[in-house]
């Protein structure tokens, strides 16, 4: 049972691609080996910036021989048939066997595939893997045609068993596999040979290469935390940065330095972002003050001066960067002090939001109007919501956000506070972008909720108005995320919102900009599209509402509510009120989980089927006039009484939107309906009794459908 | 042996010239036109195309009007120098060659932390892209290292390796200078020692004013149109001249493309180009660059005609 070791040695692999590449290498090679008839006990892959490594343990030494028999045409069959058989089997006539059967002699081909050595299979699989590796971006180099993420320099490929190590013969575009690799680029650049994975890992460690990315990350985290701790600081956790840094070094050496006194007054987010984005530094915080006071950098080498030169260089670069940041911060503060947030926002009139939808200023005006309208529905003061909408995007014009776009919103909060705006208005600068994804926090401050809803509805209606809807995997304006954001804002805050009305307002607010675009470019279709919105059929409205419903289904499915339950509730009036819709769906889902619920659905369906068939056959609608006096059976009379009681209970409960009570009342119908179907036949010969029973079924249908469209329920 | 530390800006340039000359590059002179980066030099843009081998190194004065700071910012200039190396096909030891050049200017790899950090290069105006890194020395970007994959819309085959050093920043680091204007340009022990500021402070101020406030935008817009029209006219001319010789005028056309590109940068600095127009202008320059590349690959130097 040999072990296989593969190392693909290249120039520096981008850190962000290494994790995926490890997985791909493992999968492609092991899948290929298994497909070729080998088995293995275990496999693991590792990487450094310069190497991708796969170790496979307990590989079978050769694949099993395969014997296959194929039946051909009869002996003496037409020549063409025999030739066809020979072609398909790749054999000569004299290799075939003629076997006696019940209907005479028949040709048989016995194809024997001998077992193949692991060596030749590995060579074949590895070459295919290298040639077809799914790098997100790959390149050519020199005069060759091979593609790899960066130039590939060496392939180490050996099979090791108790007799020793054997190089797998392989040549990919002139790169010949061997048993040789190199250590750290600067600390141990010489080549050395290896005999197996353990030998390889041990020698690499001596050659200043820490092979396992997780160990590198652990090592970095451990040393960095210790360094911070020794200085009375705590390290700011950042898993993404840690993984990235671990992918940039083969021999991590942690160095900590102090941030210059001049820069300690900068907001911690600014320090952290600048250090992370530009220099991939970790931040160390003073737990007493919350200020970020030091940085941790990870070098890829050991030096005689224990990193003093490296640290000094890094500190110098940091000072230059933070001087820029400080300049931006002070400039921005001066702007808001002199001109206020609205002064900072003034330039947004000259920034295009979308050429068919006007400038950022135009967009903000629309958001302001919508926010004002939404405010009372979410418990916010309209004036505050409007003010928040006016300043929420002002920081897009700040120097700091120009440099660090990811600080949008965060800076707005600082600047709005500096401008003396109310806390609720300042907070909306950041919160109105939220929730940014399915796991991001949902704002709950009323002013923030109003602006966040207005912002997202404006975006959605705008792109709907100009027909830039998401298609398939393409969603360049993140409209799915915006719709999910609206859903989560509404549900998370229990907001009652007439969404159709707001969509309509949103759509109408865009038409002036579409017309202006049409005038400037001569593209008449945008004029027509504006007409359609203002005077035509509300197709965009129903289409966008359906989009919300689709996103809601996805959202509720993640919460464990079946799609047919949602469909049953969507068919009811008021389905643009998402809170109501979900309340109904939740009640229905709970109802369906009860024994009575499941059985009532069966009873309802039976009633509905009989009724529908009868209505089709008779060409009339049975919807009125069931009378207890025509009841022949006790079960019928009981059902009449039960329906009366249910109606009396359901109607006020529905009025009060108390779906659980309504459905509990409906559940009481289960026994009488079951008993009714047990005892009587609806389609009797007596026409009067039959009509009465059909009308009775129609009452069942009406009651059930008043709660939700149960015909949509599956099963 | 570790070389001694250089003492001036020019010594760093001279050492790079010597180093790359010794490694077999033709040491060229700067291109005699205003460009935004060393890549625009035809020795890079055009010579990266076609199958013929190439190796060149040169200093290229580069202009980025929007980066002007009147000579006050310690690190930003509207006129600065790039050192550019282009080798086709990219040799297998290009990384080692590059590290050797750092050693030559006094960066000792046993004391510093040198790293290759992913940075893919793209020039929308040249229709060019490549993969590579920015090279960090102690956390500072000292060079751009790129394997060209496409230029002017053409696949590079063979692939060129391109190295670009930002000379002022690199030199400031090696010489331990905090403000670019304080950097010794020639040897500080010279009879007449000159700093970078002695040479460029005034020009930075003058050009900053012109770039930001004074450049005649109406004239520049017209020049842009003229350069664009001339580029297209040159390329549309018949391949045979009046004596019947086949002469494709790829380089004169490319000069007009460079001109258009620089005028666009000037207009941008004057703030007269809106966000949407910006894309359109870049697209127009790219269209010229592509046509020039098409023309060049049909020439002898471009490998389109047997020598």
Q: Measure the N-to-C terminal CA separation of chain B; round to a whole number of Å.
A: 43
- pLDDT score recorded for residue A198: 96
CB–CB of A16 and B118 under 8 A?
yes
DSSP state of B212: I
3-state secondary structure of A159: strand
Test mutation, B72, B118, B276, chain A, max A CBs within 10 A: B118
Whether residue A349 contacts residue A331, with contact meaning beta carbons closer than 8 Å, is answered with no
| B184-196 mean pLDDT | 97
State what percent of residues in chain A have pLDDT above 90.
65
User: Helix B275-296 vs helix B217-236: angle between axes, to the nearest 10 degrees?
Assistant: 30
Q: Which of B90, B109, B113 sits opposite A141 (nearest CB)?
A: B90
Residues in Cβ contact with A657 at an 8 Å cutoff, skipping those fewer than 6 apart: A580, A583
The answer to whether residue A67 scores a pLDDT higher than 90 is: no
Structure tokens at A379: 């418990």
Average pLDDT in chain B? 94
Average pLDDT in chain A? 92
Whether residue B299 contacts residue B250, with contact meaning beta carbons closer than 8 Å, is answered with yes
In degrees and rounded to multiples of 5, residue A456 shows phi and psi of -70, -40
d(CA A185, CA A196): 22
| B175-201 mean pLDDT | 96
Test mutation, A9, A10, A11, chain B, max B CBs within 10 A: A11
Q: Which domains does chain A have, with CATH numbers?
A: 3-62+117-206 (no CATH), 68-113 (no CATH), 213-332 (no CATH), 351-392+432-559 (no CATH), 586-712 (1.10.730.10)
CA dihedral A110, A113, A115, A120 (to 10 degrees): 170
Between A660 and A20, the more confident residue is: A20
Whether residue B302 contacts residue B45, with contact meaning beta carbons closer than 8 Å, is answered with no
- Band (B3; pLDDT cuts 50, 70, 90): low
| A158-181 mean pLDDT | 95
- Band (B1; pLDDT cuts 50, 70, 90): very low
Q: Does A83 touch chain B (CB under 8 A)?
A: no
CB–CB of B133 and A141 under 8 A?
no
A162: left (phi over 0), alpha (psi -120 to 50) or beta: alpha
CB–CB of B159 and A317 under 8 A?
no
CB–CB of A150 and B147 under 8 A?
yes
* ipTM (interface pTM): 0.94
Rg (CA), chain A: 36
A234: left (phi over 0), alpha (psi -120 to 50) or beta: beta
Rg (CA), chain B: 20
Nearest residue of B to residue A189, measured between CA atoms: B96
- pLDDT score recorded for residue B2: 52
- pLDDT score recorded for residue B276: 64
d(CA B148, CA B127): 11
Between A92 and B150, the more confident residue is: B150
Q: What is the pLDDT of residues A579-632, one digit of tens each?
A: 999 999 999 999 888 888 888 888 899 889 998 998 888 888 887 778 888 888
The answer to whether residue A323 scores a pLDDT higher than 90 is: no
CB–CB of A151 and B109 under 8 A?
no
User: Which one, of A507, A513, A515, lies nearest residue A536 by Cα?
Assistant: A507
Q: What is the pLDDT of residues B242-291, one digit of tens each?
A: 999 999 999 999 999 999 999 999 998 887 877 667 888 999 999 999 99
Whether residue A488 contacts residue A435, with contact meaning beta carbons closer than 8 Å, is answered with yes
Alpha helices by DSSP H, listed for B71-214, are: 94-104, 167-175, 196-209
pTM of the model: 0.79
User: Which one, of A506, A492, A396, A388, lies nearest residue A448 by Cα?
Assistant: A388
């Amino acid at each position: 049972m040999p072990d296989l070791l593969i190392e693909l040695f290249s120039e520096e692999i981008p850190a962000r691609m290494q994790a995926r590449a490890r997985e791909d290498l493992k999968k492609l090679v092991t899948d290929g080996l298994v497909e070729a008839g080998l088995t293995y006990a275990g496999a693991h892959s590792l990487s450094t910036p310069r190497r991708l490594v796969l170790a496979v343990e307990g590989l079978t030494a050769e694949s099993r021989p395969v014997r296959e028999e194929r039946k051909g045409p009869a002996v003496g069959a037409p020549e063409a048939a025999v030739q066809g058989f020979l072609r398909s089997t790749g054999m000569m006539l004299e290799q075939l066997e003629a076997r006696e059967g019940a209907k005479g002699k028949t040709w048989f081909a016995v194809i024997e595939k001998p077992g193949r050595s692991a060596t030749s299979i590995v060579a074949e699989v590895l070459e295919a893997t290298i040639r077809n590796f799914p790098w997100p971006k790959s390149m050519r180099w020199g005069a060759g045609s091979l593609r790899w993420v960066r130039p590939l320099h060496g392939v180490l490929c050996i099979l090791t068993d108790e007799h020793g190590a054997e190089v797998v013969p392989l040549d990919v575009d002139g790169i010949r596999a061997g048993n040789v690799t190199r250590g750290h680029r600067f600390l141990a650049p010489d080549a050395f040979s290896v005999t197996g994975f353990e030998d390889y890992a041990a020698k690499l460690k001596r050659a200043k290469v820490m092979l396992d990315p997780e160990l590198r990350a652990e090592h970095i985290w451990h040393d960095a935390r210790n360094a911070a701790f020794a200085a009375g600081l705590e390290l700011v956790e950042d898993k993404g940065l840690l993984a990235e840094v671990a992918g940039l070094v083969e021999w991590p050496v942690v160095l900590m330095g102090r941030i210059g006194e001049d820069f300690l007054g900068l907001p911690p987010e600014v320090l952290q972002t600048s250090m992370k984005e530009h220099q991939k530094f970790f931040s160390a915080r003073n737990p007493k003050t919350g200020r970020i006071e030091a940085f941790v950098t990870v070098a890829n080498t050991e030096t005689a001066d224990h990193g003093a030169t490296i640290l000094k260089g890094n500190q110098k670069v940091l000072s230059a960067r933070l001087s820029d940041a400080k300049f931006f911060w002070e400039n921005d503060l001066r702007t808001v002090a002199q001109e206020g947030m609205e002064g900072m926002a003034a330039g947004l009139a000259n920034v295009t939001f979308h050429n068919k939808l006007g400038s950022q200023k135009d967009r903000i005006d629309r958001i302001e109007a919508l926010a004002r309208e939404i405010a009372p529905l979410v418990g916010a003061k309209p004036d505050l919501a409007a003010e928040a909408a006016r300043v929420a995007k002002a920081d897009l014009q700040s120097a700091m956000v120009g440099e660090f776009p990811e600080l949008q919103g965060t800076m707005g909060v600082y600047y709005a506070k500096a401008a003396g705006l109310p806390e609720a208005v300042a907070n909306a600068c950041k919160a109105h972008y939220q929730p940014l994804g399915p796991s991001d926090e949902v704002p709950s401050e009323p002013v923030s909720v109003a602006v966040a809803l207005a912002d997202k509805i404006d975006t959605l209606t705008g792109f709907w108005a100009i027909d830039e809807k998401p298609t398939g995997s393409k969603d360049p304006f993140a409209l799915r995320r915006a719709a999910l954001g609206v859903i989560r804002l509404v549900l998370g805050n229990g907001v009652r919102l007439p969404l159709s009305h707001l969509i309509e307002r949103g759509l109408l607010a865009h038409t002036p900009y579409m017309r202006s675009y049409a005038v400037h470019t001569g593209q008449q279709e945008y004029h027509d599209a504006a007409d359609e919105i203002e005077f035509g059929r509300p197709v965009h409205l129903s289409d966008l509402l359906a989009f919300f419903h689709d996103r809601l289904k996805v959202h509720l499915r993640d919460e464990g509510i079946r799609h047919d339950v949602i469909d049953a509730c969507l068919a009811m009036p008021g389905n643009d009120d998402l809170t109501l819709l979900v309340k109904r769906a939740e009640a229905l889902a709970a109802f369906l989980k009860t024994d009575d619920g499941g059985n009532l659905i069966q009873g309802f369906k039976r009633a509905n089927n009989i009724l529908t068939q009868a209505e089709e056959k008779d060409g009339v609608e049975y919807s009125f006039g069931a009378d207890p006096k025509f009841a022949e059976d006790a079960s019928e009379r009981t059902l009449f009484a039960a329906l009366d009681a249910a109606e009396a209970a359901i109607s006020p409960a529905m009025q009060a939107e108390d779906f659980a009570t309504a459905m509990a009342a409906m559940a009481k119908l289960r026994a009488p309906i079951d008993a009714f179907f047990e005892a009587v036949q609806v389609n009797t010969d007596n026409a009067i009794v039959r009509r009465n029973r059909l009308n009775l079924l129609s009452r069942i249908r009406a009651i059930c459908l008043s709660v939700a469209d149960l015909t949509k329920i599956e099963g | 042996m570790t070389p001694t530390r250089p003492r001036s800006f020019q010594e760093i340039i001279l050492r790079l010239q010597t180093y790359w000359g010794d490694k077999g590059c033709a040491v060229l002179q700067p291109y005699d036109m205003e460009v935004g980066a060393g890549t625009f030099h035809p020795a890079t843009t055009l010579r990266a195309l076609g199958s013929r081998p190439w190796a060149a190194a040169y200093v290229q004065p580069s202009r980025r009007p929007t980066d002007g700071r009147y000579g006050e910012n310690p690190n930003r200039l509207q006129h600065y120098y790039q050192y550019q190396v282009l080798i086709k096909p990219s040799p297998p030891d290009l990384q080692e060659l590059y590290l050797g050049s750092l050693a030559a200017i006094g960066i000792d790899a046993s004391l510093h932390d040198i790293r290759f950090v992913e940075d893919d290069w793209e020039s929308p105006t040249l229709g060019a892209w490549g993969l590579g890194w920015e090279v960090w020395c102690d956390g500072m970007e000292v060079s751009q290292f790129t394997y060209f994959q496409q230029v002017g819309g053409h696949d590079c085959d063979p692939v060129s390796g391109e190295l670009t050093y930002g000379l002022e920043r690199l030199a400031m680091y090696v010489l331990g200078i905090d403000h670019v204007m304080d950097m010794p340009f020639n040897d500080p022990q010279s009879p007449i020692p000159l700093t970078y500021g002695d040479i460029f402070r005034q020009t930075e101020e003058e050009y900053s004013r012109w770039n930001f406030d004074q450049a005649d935008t109406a004239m520049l817009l017209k020049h842009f149109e003229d350069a664009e029209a001339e580029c297209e006219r040159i390329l549309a001319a018949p391949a045979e001249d009046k004596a019947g010789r086949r002469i494709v005028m790829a380089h004169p056309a490319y000069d007009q493309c460079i001109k258009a590109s620089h005028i666009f940068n000037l207009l941008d600095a004057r703030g007269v180009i809106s966000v949407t127009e910006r894309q359109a202008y870049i697209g127009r320059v790219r269209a010229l660059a592509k046509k020039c590349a098409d023309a060049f690959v049909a020439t002898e130097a471009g490998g389109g005609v047997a020598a």
